[in-house]
Amino acid sequence: MNVLICYNLVGQTVFLPLSQKVKGNKGMDKVKIEALLEELDEALVKAFPGPEPMSVLVVGGACLLFQEVITRSTEDVDVIIFEMMGSEENTLIFHSPIADKIRRIIKRIGKQHGFKGERQMFFNDDCSPFLLELSGNVLPPMKLLKVYQKLHLYIPDDLRYILACKLMAGRPEKDMTDIGSLLRVLGIQNRVQAQQVVNHYFPSPIHHIAYQLSRTLDEVFGK
């Protein structure tokens, strides 16, 4: 298998499948995301003429792009929905009339922009069950990023939340660059400090074991 040779944050050699690097280059940059969100907002206004907004917490790579922590592209906009057009449901994962309607709008826009398959859902909350499980359904403190007509975008008050998410996701081979950028921005220099960040947002030792936090920290800082 062809591999890309790179190094972890303490200088150890890490071998990543070359296909992962190529795949990552097919995503959306900040300008593209902003254009898609404008288009999505316009479509939501037409589909839902009432005053109720769709309020979301932006997480993952899109959050880091908006905060200019990274410049790489991302494959989707990961969100946690906490208000959805006045509906009692706050997710696109399960079927409901409102969720199905919003999903169709997102997929239509994604298809128009040439996205294929699952990537047509360029705006999704697939990460939310995992993150809400870790936090006991508690959202972190957040601040308003941008208000469209329907879409209200929020980001975490503290980027340590995003670092905790990425460390708990257990994907060091995918998230190493983002984790490294966050460590530098946040001034986190060692494993103990990183563990403290995770403990603050996701304190359950059971989750730490289940999602192999120790292995991820080994990959980032070395054993």
Rounded to whole angstroms, how far apart are CA atoms 18 and 11?
Answer: 20
Q: How buried is residue 50: exposed, middle or buried, by Cβ count under 10 Å (0-12/13-18/19+)?
A: exposed
Give residue 26's pLDDT.
65
Task: Provide CB contacts within 8 A for 45, sequence distance 6+.
Answer: 149, 150
Helix (H) or strand (E) holding 208: helix 205-210
Closest to 54 (Cα-Cα) out of 100, 24, 90: 90
8 Å CB contact between 43 and 123: no
Phi/psi class of residue 5: alpha, beta or left (left: φ > 0; alpha: ψ in -120 to 50)? beta
Q: How many CA atoms lie within 13 A of 72 on its CB side?
A: 17
| Dist. CA 49–CA 45, nearest whole Å | 6
Q: Report the predicted TM-score, pTM, of the whole model to 2 decimal places.
A: 0.86
The whole-number pLDDT of residue 27 equals 86
Say whether 2 sits in a helix, a strand or coil. coil
Q: What pLDDT sits at residue 100?
A: 97
How many Å is the maximal CA-CA distance in the chain? 55
Q: Tens place of pLDDT for every residue, the chain, 223 residues?
A: 334 444 444 444 444 333 333 333 368 999 999 999 999 999 999 999 999 999 999 999 999 999 999 999 999 999 999 999 999 999 999 999 999 999 999 999 999 999 999 999 999 999 999 999 999 999 999 999 999 999 999 999 999 999 999 999 988 788 999 999 999 999 999 999 999 999 999 999 999 999 999 999 999 999 7
Please report the sign of the dihedral spanned by the C-alpha atoms of residue 117, residue 106, residue 121, residue 22: positive
What integer pLDDT is reported at residue 172 of this predicted model? 78
State how far the Cα of 88 lies from the Cα of 90, in Å rounded to an integer.
6
Q: For residue 171, which of 112, 98, 111, 220 has the smallest C-alpha distance?
A: 220
Instruction: Output DSSP code: residue 139.
Output: P
